[in-house]
């Protein structure tokens, strides 16, 4: 078996004395496809539709960014989505960025196996530092939730400033709700994880690992901030339990 073969997520399945804060290290990178599929309701649809949206908003000679790309699932969906856009995708370049070296190393392997003809570059860098420009489409899927709340508006404003008129941002996030709805959505998310084979121990230890690391915000907070950052139109195009995806157009 090659180290790149898909492996099951067993990271939290044995009792840990003290659960460490969650990081995107090599152990997580190795099991990431299994982990995210079993943890994020609607993940496969979000990835696939990010490719469709990229196809609609691509502009010739522009950059498309997949910020916090992990293993490049959205990078590849964008590559195939814009190939279908014909002339509008002429001269486009897709840049996948992640600050986890383990993720980028594995992403490069998967991209090399893909037979697309749009240029793709994978970069190990901090999205808070990396210069962005000439962007037609940017994806920020399940990443902003890991950025310190006080840095979120600055990042979104930089993305908006780098976006061409008529360009788009796809923002996917775990969100929070009013107390009453929160209880219901939490139960449904727990049921989803259990149905995907996670034990109560795994669920509890993961919850403690992501506490204060993954900080969700309300739908309203996201929409208001996207508008404050410089996007003209914002819609929630998808929701599956407590995970949503917004489309913001400049
Ligand atoms: C939940 S994963 C994203 C999943 C991916 N977008 C997808 O759809 O498959 C979050 C990723 O964001 C990356 N990340 C978090 N903070 C970052 C930062 N400041 N700069 C670059 N990448 C970051 C992590 O390393 C991790 O790979
Ligand atoms: O909210 C949870 O319980 C999760 O497991 C979510 C989440 C995410 O949204 O990124 C957290 C970390 C992993 O990357 C996969 C899923």
Averaged pLDDT, 58-69: 98
Please choose, from the candidates 97, 67, 249, the residue with its C-alpha nearest in 3D space to the C-alpha of residue 173. Answer: 67
DSSP assignment, residue 217?
B
Query: Tens digits of per-residue pLDDT, 148-173?
Result: 999 999 999 999 999 999 999 999 99
Please choose, from the candidates 90, 85, 110, 93, the residue with its C-alpha nearest in 3D space to the C-alpha of residue 5. Answer: 110
Q: Is residue 75 part of a domain?
A: yes
Give yes or no for residue 20 having a pLDDT over 90.
Answer: yes
127 is in an annotated binding site: yes
Q: What pLDDT, on the 0 to 100 scale, is given for residue 78?
A: 98
Query: Which ligand 1 atom minimizes the distance to the CA of 127?
Result: 20
5 is in an annotated binding site: no
Averaged pLDDT, 219-233: 98
For the chain, the 3-state helix, strand and coil shares in percent, each to the nearest 5, are 45, 20, 35
C-alpha 151/C-alpha 159 separation (Å) is 13
Q: Is residue 65 part of a domain?
A: yes
Percent of the residues in the chain that have a pLDDT greater than 70, as a whole number: 100
Token reading at 195: 């149905």
Going by C-beta distance under 8 Å and a sequence separation of 6 or more, which residues neighbour residue 218?
175, 176, 177
C-alpha 125/C-alpha 129 separation (Å) is 8
Q: Is 127 in the pocket of ligand 1 (CB under 6 A)?
A: yes
Percent of the residues in the chain that have a pLDDT greater than 90, as a whole number: 94
Averaged pLDDT, 230-237: 98
What angle (nearest 5°) sits at the alpha carbon of residue 46, between those of residues 201 and 32? Answer: 40
Q: What pLDDT, on the 0 to 100 scale, is given for residue 3?
A: 80
Give yes or no for residue 2 having a pLDDT over 80.
Answer: no
Q: What pLDDT, on the 0 to 100 scale, is given for residue 214?
A: 98
Q: Is 40 in the pocket of ligand 2 (CB under 6 A)?
A: yes
Q: What pLDDT, on the 0 to 100 scale, is given for residue 6?
A: 78
CATH of the domain at 64: 3.40.50.150
Please choose, from the candidates 35, 51, 67, the residue with its C-alpha nearest in 3D space to the C-alpha of residue 142. Answer: 67
Query: Which ligand 1 atom minimizes the distance to the CA of 126?
Result: 20
Averaged pLDDT, 216-231: 98
Q: Is residue 68 part of a domain?
A: yes
69 is in an annotated binding site: yes
Query: Tens digits of per-residue pLDDT, 96-145?
Result: 999 999 999 999 999 999 988 899 999 999 999 999 999 999 999 999 99
Q: Is residue 194 part of a domain?
A: no
Q: Is residue 101 part of a domain?
A: yes
Q: Is residue 32 part of a domain?
A: no
Q: Is 129 in the pocket of ligand 1 (CB under 6 A)?
A: no
Token reading at 180: 């009453």
User: How far away, in angstroms, is 144 Cα from ligand 1 center?
Assistant: 8
Q: 45: pLDDT confidence band, cut at 50, 70 and 90?
A: very high
Give residue 50's domain range.
43-176+213-249
Q: 28: pLDDT confidence band, cut at 50, 70 and 90?
A: very high
Q: What pLDDT, on the 0 to 100 scale, is given for residue 1?
A: 65
Q: Is residue 20 part of a domain?
A: no
Q: Is residue 149 part of a domain?
A: yes
Query: Which ligand 2 atom minimizes the distance to the CA of 32?
Result: 14
The number of folded domains in the chain is: 1
Q: What one-character-per-residue DSSP string does 143-163 give?
A: -GGGS-HHHHHHHHHHHHHHE
Its sign, for the CA torsion 137, 142, 143, 148, is positive
70 is in an annotated binding site: yes
H or E element in which residue 14 lies = none
């Amino acid at each position: 078996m090659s180290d790149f073969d898909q492996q099951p997520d067993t990271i939290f399945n044995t009792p840990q004395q003290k659960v460490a804060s969650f990081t995107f290290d090599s152990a997580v990178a190795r099991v990431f496809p299994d982990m995210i599929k079993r943890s994020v309701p609607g993940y496969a649809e979000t990835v696939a539709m990010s490719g469709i949206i990229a196809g609609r908003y691509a502009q010739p000679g522009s950059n498309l960014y997949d910020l916090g790309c992990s293993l490049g699932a959205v990078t590849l969906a964008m590559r195939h989505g814009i190939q279908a856009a014909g002339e509008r995708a002429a001269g486009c370049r897709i840049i996948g960025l992640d600050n986890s070296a383990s993720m980028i190393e594995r992403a490069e392997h998967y991209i090399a196996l893909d037979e697309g003809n749009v240029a793709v570059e994978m970069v190990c860098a901090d999205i808070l530092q990396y210069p962005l420009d000439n962007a037609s489409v940017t994806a920020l899927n399940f990443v902003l939730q890991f950025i310190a709340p006080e840095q979120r508006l600055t990042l979104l404003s930089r993305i908006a400033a780098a976006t061409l008129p008529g360009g788009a941002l796809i923002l996917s996030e775990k969100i929070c709700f009013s107390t009453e709805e929160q209880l219901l959505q939490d139960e449904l998310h727990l049921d989803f994880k259990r149905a995907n084979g996670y034990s109560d121990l795994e669920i509890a230890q993961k919850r403690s690992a992501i506490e204060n690391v993954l900080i969700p915000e309300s739908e309203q907070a996201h929409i208001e901030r996207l508008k404050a950052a410089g996007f003209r139109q914002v819609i929630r195009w998808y929701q599956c339990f407590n995970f949503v995806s917004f489309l913001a157009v400049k």
